[in-house]
Structure 1
Amino acid sequence: MSGCIAAPGDKSVSHRALIMAALAAGESRITGLLESEDVLATARAVAALGAGVHRDAEGWRVVGTGGQFRSPDRALDLGNSGTGVRLLMGAVAGTGATADFTGDASLSSRPMARVLDPLTAMGAGCTSTGGRLPARISGGCLNPVDWSPEIASAQVKSAILLAALGAAGETVVREPAPTRDHTERMLPLFGGRVEADGSIVRLTGPQALTGTRIEVPGDPSSAAFALVAGLIMPGSAVTLTGVIANPARDGIYRVLERMGAKLARTPGAVMAGEDTVDLAVESSALRAVDLEAAIAPSMIDEYPILAVAAAFAEGESRFRGLAELRAKESDRLAGTAALLAANGVTVRIEGDDLIVSGMGPAGAPGGGTVITRGDHRLAMAGLVLGCAAKSPVRIDDAAMIATSYPGFLDDMRKLGARMGTA
């Protein structure tokens, strides 16, 4: 594989740009928005809540509601988007609107109490189906809250902060470990005021946002697939441009470097309050790594593709503290282990740790079929494994890849990968 591609727009930033633009007064322009199924579901939801949402040749134009969401006449269907539904729950609570939330089977199986509990403590009316979707949020006169989530989650933190825009007084979120801070970086661009000190974030409401221009940077989680492919396929040299360099998201770069990856970072422009880099990798002899649990929040979505890299490394890799993977689009911990095992890689799970026995640059046997479990990241990781394995790898379903990276197959083929339907 060789060549240069622009990293697809960051999914987390895209969701936040749409939601904050919808909350703001006046017009916002968004360029580089990731037009994946997840993000488009958020776009439809904010339109149903009263924002004017338009796509044109320059990008996306959002006419905000000035913090006055209307109560939609039908449920907001967020499809497979955990980020979209959790952040919108907070935004709806802060505006005083009432909305029902639903999603597909995968999203409906995922825990929502981690967001519903703090919103209830703030005074919002919250009902759910056993802590899962379908759920209803009824906003109102919210109170500030001092909340310490049990699990470090940027989605939970962001939902509380968005609700706090409509609360009178100081809201504090005390995380057990720092998480991605896209909300804190973007709010000031819309005129918001937020204070962050390590894992403690404070926002004093009520606050009004004002429309602005946002350029969405590239997504590290999506860029990781081409990066790993370039590392494990002999003779490869791959470059991705405009990727987020946020320390809360760059764990995958740091880990690949620890594994011996030839990876060069060239600083780029600032987009949406985020520093960016161009990333260039060459085929590399990788070595096993023992990863501490503390690094997981900075790369939680990248573990399936990192496990593929570990399969081509020398030695046994251990990835610690991956309990959060069990609450993703699927049980991603079990799914990653099954993906490797189906293709001849020795792998095991001990508690919340994933242990991969690397097979060195000679690579994995391949030849298996990956059961994707409706999970886009398992699907893409399986296809990348197939690029470098001794025998082709099949996946049982590719449709869900569009939830996060609709251009994945085109980008990988542009770089020289042979992927297609059987």
Structure 2
Amino acid sequence: NIGINPTRTGIIDILQAMGGDLKITNQREVSGEPVGDILVKSSKLRGIEIKGDTIPRAIDELPVVAVAAAYAEGTTEIRDAKELRVKESDRIGTMATHLKELGIQVTEFDDGMDIVGGRPKPPPQGAIFNSHGDHRVAMSMLVAGLAPDKEMQVFDTECIDTSFPGFVKTLSELGCRIAASEKE
């Protein structure tokens, strides 16, 4: 039951252009909106240019696209996304900072960033990332934390309930180890 309204499927198009193996199946309508099931298989991603009319269709998903770009081969260029500066946080600045903390080369621009992919280095044990109260940044950094072998912390994750109340539970059901902790 994933919404596949063409105005909101930019992330699917982006990940497919990066080489992601995603297929939409069982397409149907629910309450007048197109929905489907998305089958995802592990695949190698490559850097691409993301700009123009793709941006409005993926504006809220660009923080997690930046995480995917950190694992892609080559450079991913995100432009025309100046709106990210005035969301719940400065998503360009925040994500650029956090990716750099993971050892990823990021060049920040007023309207986006270039991300030189590769495998991010594991954060130092107990690395702490702050969501700055931004649900998209919180979810993106939790996703970034799925790959390293070392523990990392993302603070201020209560904001996730704004857009995906079951996010942590869903990740846990998929086998991810996520635990709540108190701020220091």
Aligned 1:303-322 pairs, distance under 5 A: 303-322=62-81
Distance 2:140 2:5 in 1: 23
- Runs of 4+ with deviation above 3 angstroms: none
Any residues of structure 2 matched to 1:7-406 within 5 Å, and which? 242-359=1-118, 362-367=119-124, 368-406=127-165
Contact 2:49 2:76 in 1 (8 A): yes
- Normalised by the size of structure 2, how large is the TM-score? 0.91
Question: C-alpha separation between the residues in 1 aligned to 2:103 and 2:128?
Answer: 11
2:176 counterpart of 1:417: yes
Gaps of 5+ in 2: none
Tell me, in whole angstroms, the C-alpha distance in 2 between the residues paired with 1:393 and 1:290.
30
Distance 1:270 1:374 in 2: 34
* C-alpha distance in structure 2 between counterparts of 1:271 and 1:364, whole Å: 42
Q: 1:278 to 1:398 in 2, by over 3 A?
A: same
Greater Cα radius of gyration, structure 1 or 2: 1
The alignment covers a number of residue pairs equal to 179
- Secondary structure at the aligned position of 1:383 is classed as helix
CA contact (8 A) 2:102 2:120 kept: no
Percent sequence identity over aligned pairs? 37
Cα separation, 2, equivalents of 1:290 and 1:366: 27
**Partner Cα separation in structure 2 for residue 389 and residue 403 of structure 1:** 27
Shift of 1:317: 0.6
**Distance in 2 separating the partners of 1:321 and 1:418:** 36
Residues 364 and 273 of structure 1, relative CA distance in 2, 3 Å threshold: farther
Q: Rate the CA distance shift 1:287–1:267 in 2: closer, same or farther, 3 A.
A: same
Q: Residue by residue, what CA displacement relative to the aligned partner does 1:141-193 show, whole Å, maximum 9, x if unpaired?
A: xxxxxxxxxxxxxxxxxxxxxxxxxxxxxxxxxxxxxxxxxxxxxxxxxxxxx
In structure 1, stretches of 5+ residues that fail to align are 1-241
Kept after mapping to 2: 8 A contact 1:382/1:393? no
Inter-partner Cα distance in structure 2 for 1:307 and 1:354: 9
Q: CA deviation at 1:390?
A: 4.3
SS of 2:142's equivalent in the other structure is helix
Structure 1 residues 409, 400: closer, same or farther in 2, change over 3 A? same
Letter in 2 for 1:366: P
C-alpha contact (below 8 Å) 1:317/1:357 kept by paired residues: yes
Query: 1:341 offset after TM fit, Å?
Result: 1.5
Shift of 1:363: 4.2
CA apart distance, 1:365:
2.4
The CA distance in 2 between the partners of 1:371 and 1:400, in whole Å, is 12
**C-alpha separation in 2, matches of 1:270 and 1:296:** 25
Secondary structure of the structure 2 residue equivalent to 1:256: helix
Cα deviation, 1:235-282, whole Å, max 9, x if unaligned, reads: xxxxxxx11111111110011001111111103321232111100111
